[in-house]
Every structure is written in C-alpha cells, then in structure tokens.
Structure 1
Amino acid sequence: MNGRDLRSVGVFTALAFALAWLLALPLWFGDGLAGPWFPLVATATMATPAIAALVVVFFVERPKHKAWKLGVWPLRPVRGLLGYGALGIFVSIALVLVALPVGALLGVYPADFANFSAFQQVLDEQAGAAGAAGIPIPIGALIAVQLAALPLAAFINLIPALGEELGWRGWLLPKLMPLGTLPALLVSGVIWGLWHAPLILLGYNYPDAPGWLGLAAMVGMCVLIGAVFGWLRLRSGSVWPAALAHAAFNGAGGSYLLFAKAGEHVDTTQATVLGWSGWIVPLALVVVLVATGQFSSAKHPSTPPSQKGRPPRTPGDGTGDR
C-alpha cells in the first residue's frame, strides 16, 4: 500500500470509530443497554462505516467511479449477483444454526432439540400475560415458521447491514488488498471487531464476560465471518451479496433461543456463533476456500468493470476475476 492509501484507511478508521463512540455516549452516561436509547443508538451506529467510506470517497480520494469504489455499481451480471446474494443469505443462516448442535456436542450449549423447552417457556409466559391458557399452535409448527422466515430477515435488515458493509467490505477490504488477500481479510476483520467496542464493553452480545474477553471474542468472530462476507464481495465484485449475508446473519442471531433448554444459561463466549464453538465451522469453511484457491482467483479488479474486457465471475462458471 502506498502512503495515500494508508492515509485513506486511517481517515476511514478514525472516523468510523469516532462516530461509533460519539453515538454511544448517551448509553455510557445513562443506563447502558437498558436505556431507552439503545435500539436507536445500535441502529444508527451501523451507519457509521458507510458515512466514513462516503467521506473518504467523496472528499479525500475523489475517484471518478465512486459507486464502483464502494461496490454498489454496476448491478451486473444480474444472474451472478442474484446467485451470490442467495448464497450469502443461506450460508449465513446455516453458519448461525450449525453452531448450535456443534456447541451441544461439545457441552457448551444447553440444547433441547426435542421439546424446545426454553421457547415453550417464553410462549407460556406470553400467553399468561395475555390472559390465555396457552398457544393453540403446536410448538414444532411455530419453530418451522420461525426458521422459514429467517431468509426474509435479509431483506428487512438490508439497509442497516448495508450501512456497515459499504464500509467494511464495500470500501475497506478492496483498499487493503495490496497487502495480500489473507492479510486484508485479517486486518479488515480485526478493525470490524474493534469497532464494536462501544457496545461490547457495555455488555452487548457477551453480557456475562469481562469487557476485554467480550471484545476479544467479537474480534475473533468478526475475522472469521468477515472472511466469508469478504469472499462474497471479492468473488461477486459487488457489496450487495455481502450486505444480504450480513443482514441474514443478524436476523438469524437470536435463533439460539429457539433450541435452548429452559432454565439453563447460555454463555455466548463459548456457545452460539458468537463463541468459540461456533467458530469451528466458519473456520473450516474459510480453510476450504483458501485451500481450493477461491480467494487467490478472486482478486478485486484494479479498474472499473466498464474498462475491462469481462464482468465478475458468476457462481460455478469456472472462471476467476483478474
């Protein structure tokens, strides 16, 4: 990387972090995650990487092809983008869900895959609060409906997720590619994880862990999941598949509550995709992608697609980006 690129990365990172901390100040000086401002702050914070990327692109670098630099354009080939978008949605959901049986096998996730007792307890409490005797629909059917609805979350959560992905994978990852693919993925993942500090240190995602452990766990998860999102960005040449994957990942995150055992505590530093047991499958996936050359043949183009002889590859077409 040259000095100009390093300056751009520095401005982007400083601005994204500063805005995240600024937005979190009402929580730090108020009631923390229990405060009424938390949902608004959490959603608004997701826009800070996009703001930082837009500032760098429009006021620091000012390239000719700004939308291409951010990965939002061109929306072609349509078939390829749709394929990678669908792949991102279902892979993200699968990574979240498969972490649960893995955690159960390792003894760190208290699972009840037969009776769904924790979910049943929640339903009973809600029915009681409403003055009803119970939920008339079988719990198995409710679980099936919940799982079937998970892909819809990718579209419901798309705009907030795009706020992050415009920064992390849309702009930052390609900018770091001169370091090499694996270093770029590692550095961007670490930056992404540390950016969560204002909320993680308040107990978000890891409510029972000391701040340093929660932040370290978040960085570890972000490096691995960020590599998967990064593969989608680099292979498709677009930020949209990564944004859909991120949105689906966030939407599926709470599904561990469906399969937990009633009365048991879930330690998210160990269980779910947030904890170490949930990193095993994403790590294996990244290793397979690296071993099969999926990253080495997916280098981000150095000039906009309109100036090149062919568009980004589509899933399964046997070609690679150069």
Structure 2
Amino acid sequence: MAQRRQAVKELWYFLPATYLGAWVVTTPLWLNGFRRSAPSQHANSLAQACLFTMMLVPAVVAIALTLRRHPWRGVPRVLALGLPRPRRRVIVQCLCATAALPAITLAGLIPATLLGAYHPVWPESWWPVLALPVSAVVSIPLYLGEEIGWQGYMMPRLTLRFGTTTGICLGGVLWGLWHLPMTALGGSYPGHPLYVAVPAAVAVAVGAGALIAVIRIHTHSVWPAVTAHLGLNEFALPLPQLTSAPDHVPDPLFVGPLGLLTLPILIITAAAALFTVKGRRGQKIR
C-alpha cells in the first residue's frame, strides 16, 4: 500500500513537469507561426530542433526525480537502463523490437492499397532507404530520452497503482496527449482538424505504447523499448512515403503506422501482446 501511494505521488510530480516541459520547448514554434498543413510539407530546422528537445524532456524529468531519492549510481537500476545477460539475447531482442512496428505497417499497407489510399512503387533512388539505418543510429539518444521517462519511470508506477493492463493502456493515453503541442501544429496529421488528429494520435499511442511496454516488461530493460520506438519513427513512418507514387502522397491519417487503416491491426496485435503479460495491482515491474 505504501509503495502504491509513493507511486501516485511520484506520478503527480512527473506528469505535470513532463507536459509543461513539452509546451515550453515548443513555444518558439507557436510564436513563429509554424504549422504543417500538408503531408508533403517537411518540418523546418526550428521544428526539428523543438521536437528533438521535446523528446529529451521525459528523461530529464525522470532522472531529476530519481535523484531525489537515489544516488547517481542507482539511477541505471531504478530506470531499467541495465543490459541483462546474456548480451547476445539483448541484441536479438532489440532487433526484433525494431522490426515490430514496421512489420505492422507493412501489413496495414495491404488494405490501404486495396482501397486506393496507397499507390506503391519501387523507390526512384535507394539512397534515402539506405540512409534510414544511419539516421536511426544517430537518433538513439532522442528515443532513449523519451523511453527513460515513459518506460523507465512512468510505466512501472502506473502498473503498480492500476495493474498491468490498465496501467499500460493509461500510459498510452498519456503518451499520446503529451504530443499535443506538436499534434496541434499538424505534426502527425497535417491538414486535419484537432478533433480528428488528437483522438487518432491517442488511439495509435495506446496500441504502439502497449507493444513497447510489453517489450520492456519481458526484457526487463528500457533498451529494447528504445529500439521499438526507433523502429516506429525511423523505419515505419517513412515507409509509405518512400514507396508511394510521387503524384499520390499518402495521407498519414489513413496510411502508415499512424493511419486508421493500420490501427485495427495494431490494436489486435497490442491486445495479443497484453495477454502475455501477467500482472495484478500492486505488482512492481522491475
């Protein structure tokens, strides 16, 4: 009971600080008047800088709160930053985690193609495709910045208080709403009103967040969760754009890992993954 009360208290510190931090670091975009209005419109340098900074906010808050109760040497243990042995198994887990959401995205492109929302072609140049792994490796600190907060700090406390399934699903909702500063500027669903974009973003976050959380629980480490998140952003998100006809830019609201045509596959997969995690209220995730 005392652990559950402490978990709730720590969440009351973590969530407001993380949400406030996201809004603060994206303030320059609001002042600048930036808004993404079409899928073909790319983020400018200011938007990228704000997004990258925003991704580091959860880790900064989580580490700061952890240091209130633990010394520096205890931070990796508390936030599940260790690499369990054998190391070879962790590498395999990370590779499988990286492939999870791109595989779901590929499955979602089938109904998108049949319904005419996606027009697949071979890429005119393979250089952008070959550049994806390089971008992924360089971006690891950004995804680590998010998952230290979400899976290292928030998720264990949510599951301790609400139980495994409810805690994971609630974590997905909170993760999706945390993106609101960017979603409101057309980040994930350019050209769509907020009343469409926000529910879609939250629904996808619940499904993707559940998969990432289950990976984190099974592997007892944040690192495979980091690679799962990396697989979503660095491989699954660019996939439809890189393989679609130039005159048919796919709408991310319908096509791709964030799309409504992929969402049923994502939710079914996430529900199956949740069945593999046995937990109850009051059980601590290590």
Q: Distance in 2 between matches of 1:12 and 1:198?
A: 18
Q: Distance in 2 between matches of 1:26 and 1:269?
A: 26
**Are 1:255 and 2:239 counterparts?**
yes
Normalised TM-score (structure 2): 0.86
Report the CA distance between 1:151 and its aligned residue.
4.6
Aligned to 1:229: 212
Normalised TM-score (structure 1): 0.77
Report the CA distance between 1:264 and its aligned residue.
2.8
Q: Which runs of 4+ in 1 moved over 6 A?
A: 297-301
Report the CA distance between 1:95 and its aligned residue.
2.3
Q: Distance in 2 between matches of 1:266 and 1:300?
A: 44
Deviation sequence 1:60-104 (CA, Å, 0-9, x none): x43884312211024433133112111111113222333222322
Is the contact between residue 161 and residue 247 of structure 1 (CA under 8 Å) also seen in structure 2? Answer: yes
Q: Distance in 1 between matches of 2:271 and 2:284?
A: 26
> C-alpha root-mean-square deviation of aligned residues, in Å?
2.6
Aligned to 1:26: 28
**Partner-residue secondary structure (3-state), 1:32:** coil
Match for 2:269 among 269, 285, 290?
285
Q: Distance in 1 between matches of 2:282 and 2:269?
A: 21
Aligned to 1:94: 103
Aligned length, in residue pairs = 274
Q: Which amino acid aligns with 1:62?
A: H
Q: Which amino acid aligns with 1:201?
A: A
Any residues of structure 2 matched to 1:75-154 within 5 Å, and which? Answer: 75-107=84-116, 109-113=117-121, 116=122, 139=124, 142-143=125-126, 147=129, 150-154=132-136
Deviation sequence 1:269-306 (CA, Å, 0-9, x none): 2221112111122222223224xx411179998486xx
Aligned to 1:62: 70
Distance 1:190-1:9 versus aligned 2 partners, 3 A rule: same
**Are 1:8 and 2:16 counterparts?**
no
Q: Which amino acid aligns with 2:148?
A: L
Distance 1:89-1:32 versus aligned 2 partners, 3 A rule: same
Structure 1 gap ranges (5+): 120-138, 305-322
Deviation sequence 1:132-158 (CA, Å, 0-9, x none): xxxxxxx3xx45x65566455442321
| Larger mean Cα displacement after TM superposition, 27-36 or 277-286 | 27-36
| Larger mean Cα displacement after TM superposition, 251-260 or 184-193 | 251-260
Is the contact between residue 27 and residue 35 of structure 1 (CA under 8 Å) also seen in structure 2? Answer: no
Provide the identity percentage. 25
Distance 1:300-1:66 versus aligned 2 partners, 3 A rule: farther
| Larger mean Cα displacement after TM superposition, 198-207 or 89-98 | 89-98
Is the contact between residue 8 and residue 157 of structure 2 (CA under 8 Å) also seen in structure 1? Answer: no
**Are 1:162 and 2:134 counterparts?**
no
Any residues of structure 2 matched to 1:196-275 within 5 Å, and which? Answer: 196-252=179-235, 253-275=237-259
